[in-house]
């Protein structure tokens, strides 16, 4: 039983009260506020269910309250150490948890993001998988937050367990409560709203993988919404909550879920926290820090029945070698593949591997976009726990890209002579990188090679070797070092690139 289910059994009166309050306030506010964004019809916009109860309904009062919370957060130099990847923030009424949440959102005064994915638990509806709101924006007194429709579509195509369920969003407070803070510190952002119906480890893993695959190489912030223990004495709450603080500080999502399942701690959004931590790791996060902790007793003085709140941040150290490349130019080139195209190729690659290992149905290649039906060469690279597990590609661009990726995924998993065939127990940790290739061009001088843009194909006699564009960037090589390693890949002496009989071809790739 997850922590949400146990909470419902333990405190049925509380859940009834919250549901009634939200439903009443939501209806009243929807009747009082006019549409302020003419591009979104009223039946598309998800109206506020919290304004006037969990936070102020008057825009200026709401803004002043949030700015007051932020102004009381001491200055911190934490983000100077790297790239912010994710935040963890509480979701109680602002009078109780607003000051704690401000410790997380204060960081966004320094680092901005065009898109935010908010992961929240479901308090009112029971369902399998994850629900994404894909109808229109979310309204708060500060205006309508638009959706990142392109990323939402990519997630829905990436995994069919991510889909829209209206009941998941109708009354849910855990997601909406984060939005006014984001509107104040980072106006103009786009939203991807996710509500988790299940919070087990398997769900957290596949959701994290889908998020990481769809946002890799993009500037996207993850936000997990969760309160901690509910309605224990002050001292007991601090004891339970310390377990969560320790697991988050240790960057241990699996340990957190084990603690929740074993009753050693409580967090109604334990699944969103764990999924966010798992996704953040895939996106390069290496460090985690709890920024602030308090419970309702610290605010009200009533210590017999309190609720715990935590703010935390996850970030990547400079040069930490994570997958996300948010600094500097993108490796390779942009071939015009949409987010949906890239998500479709990742899905095809994974499903082809699962067909062989798990006996699943083979993916259809009939409904692909026109771009994915263009003839193009491609490489598929597989990694487990950050280590290379297979990499095979097709250089000749005489077949549709979708078909090439399907074939190369199988080859990388089961035919790379450097590795044993992939096993079913490796699927959960499997990372897939796809490189869609440009045509090859023979060069006459090595000065034509641009590190970070070009890959190299080298031939001499009967020997040949190829390195993709991202290899030089990942290892920090200059042009000469890149050439020497390509010689070695071909089984030739390091200086063979200087030999007039050596043919050097360059190419580029869209890497995702």
Instruction: Output the tens digit of pLDDT for each of the chain's 512 residues.
Output: 344 334 333 333 333 333 333 333 333 323 222 233 444 444 589 999 999 999 999 999 999 999 999 999 986 544 445 789 999 999 999 999 999 999 999 999 888 899 999 999 999 999 999 999 999 899 999 999 999 999 999 999 999 999 999 999 999 999 999 999 999 999 999 999 999 999 999 999 999 999 999 998 789 999 999 999 999 999 999 999 999 999 999 999 999 999 999 999 999 999 999 999 999 999 989 889 999 999 999 999 999 999 999 999 999 865 444 444 334 456 888 888 888 888 889 989 999 999 989 887 788 888 888 999 999 999 999 987 667 899 999 998 889 999 999 999 999 999 998 889 999 988 877 889 999 999 999 999 999 999 999 999 999 988 999 999 988 887 778 999 999 999 998 999 999 999 999 999 999 999 99
In a domain, 63, yes or no: no
Which of 285, 316, 347 terminates a domain? The answer is 316
138 and 161 belong to one structural domain: yes
Note down the domain range covering 447. Answer: 438-512
348 and 243 belong to one structural domain: no
In a domain, 260, yes or no: yes
Q: Do 293 and 308 touch, CB atoms closer than 8 A? A: yes
Q: What's the pLDDT score for residue 330?
A: 64
Q: What's the pLDDT score for residue 28?
A: 30
Tokens of 75: 């200055």
21 and 35 belong to one structural domain: yes
199 and 99 belong to one structural domain: yes
Which of 404, 433, 462 terminates a domain? The answer is 433
454 and 397 belong to one structural domain: no
412 and 460 belong to one structural domain: no
CATH of the domain at 287: 3.40.830.10
99 and 149 belong to one structural domain: yes
404 and 481 belong to one structural domain: no
Q: What's the pTM?
A: 0.60
In a domain, 355, yes or no: yes
16 and 125 belong to one structural domain: yes
CATH of the domain at 472: 3.30.1490.150
Give the list of residues 6+ apart from residue 422 with CB closer than 8 angstroms, or none.
353, 357, 382, 389, 390, 413, 414, 430
Is the backbone of residue 402 left (phi > 0), alpha (psi -120 to 50) or beta? alpha
Q: Do 507 and 439 touch, CB atoms closer than 8 A? A: yes
In a domain, 294, yes or no: yes
Which of 407, 433, 459 terminates a domain? The answer is 433
User: How many distinct structural domains can be found in the chain?
Assistant: 3
In a domain, 66, yes or no: no
Rounded to 5 degrees, φ, ψ at 141 are -60, -20
């Amino acid at each position: 039983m997850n922590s949400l289910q146990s909470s419902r059994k333990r405190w049925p009166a509380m859940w009834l009260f919250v549901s009634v309050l939200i439903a009443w306030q939501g209806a009243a506010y929807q009747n009082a506020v006019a549409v302020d964004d003419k591009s979104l019809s009223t039946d598309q916009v998800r109206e506020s269910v919290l304004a006037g109860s969990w936070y102020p309904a008057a825009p200026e009062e709401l803004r002043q309250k949030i700015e007051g919370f932020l102004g009381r957060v001491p200055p911190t130099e934490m983000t100077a150490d790297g790239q912010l990847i994710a935040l963890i923030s509480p979701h109680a009424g602002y009078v109780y948890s607003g000051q704690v949440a401000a410790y997380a959102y204060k960081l966004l005064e320094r680092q901005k993001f065009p898109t935010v994915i908010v992961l929240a638990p479901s308090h009112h509806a029971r369902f399998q998988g994850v629900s994404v709101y894909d109808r229109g924006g979310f309204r708060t007194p500060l205006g309508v937050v638009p959706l990142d429709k392109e990323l939402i579509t990519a997630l829905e195509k990436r995994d069919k367990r991510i889909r829209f369920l209206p009941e998941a969003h109708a009354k849910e407070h855990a997601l909406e409560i984060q939005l006014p803070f984001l509107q104040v510190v980072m106006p103009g952002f786009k939203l991807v709203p996710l509500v988790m119906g299940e919070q087990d480890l398997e769900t957290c893993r596949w959701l994290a993988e889908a998020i990481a695959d769809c946002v890799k190489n993009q500037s996207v912030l993850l936000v997990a919404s969760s309160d901690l223990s509910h309605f224990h004495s002050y001292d007991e709450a601090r004891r339970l909550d310390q377990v969560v603080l320790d697991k988050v500080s240790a960057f241990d999502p699996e340990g957190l879920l084990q603690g929740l399942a074993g009753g050693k701690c409580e967090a109604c959004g334990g699944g969103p926290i764990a999924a966010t931590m798992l996704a953040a790791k895939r996106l390069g996060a290496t460090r985690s820090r709890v920024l602030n902790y308090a419970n309702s007793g610290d605010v009200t003085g009533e210590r017999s029945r309190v609720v715990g709140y935590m703010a935390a941040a996850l970030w990547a150290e400079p040069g930490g070698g994570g997958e996300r490349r948010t600094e500097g130019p993108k490796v390779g080139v942009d071939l015009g593949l949409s987010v949906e195209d890239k998500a479709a190729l990742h899905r095809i690659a994974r499903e082809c591997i699962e067909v062989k290992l798990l006996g699943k149905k083979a993916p259809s290649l009939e409904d692909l976009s026109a771009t994915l039906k263009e003839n193009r060469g491609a490489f598929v690279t597989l990694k487990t726990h950050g280590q290379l597990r297979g990499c095979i590609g097709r250089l000749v661009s005489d077949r549709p890209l979708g078909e090439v990726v399907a074939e190369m995924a199988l080859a990388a998993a089961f035919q790379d002579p450097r590795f044993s065939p992939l096993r079913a127990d490796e699927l959960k940790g499997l990372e897939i990188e796809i490189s869609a290739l440009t045509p090859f061009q023979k060069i006459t001088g090595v000065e034509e090679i641009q590190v970070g843009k070009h890959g190299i194909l080298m031939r001499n006699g009967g020997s040949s070797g190829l390195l993709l564009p991202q290899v030089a960037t990942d290892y920090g090589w200059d042009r000469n070092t890149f050439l020497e390693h390509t010689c070695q890949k071909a089984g030739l002496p390091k200086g063979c690139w200087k030999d007039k009989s050596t043919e050097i071809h360059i190419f580029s790739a869209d890497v995702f």
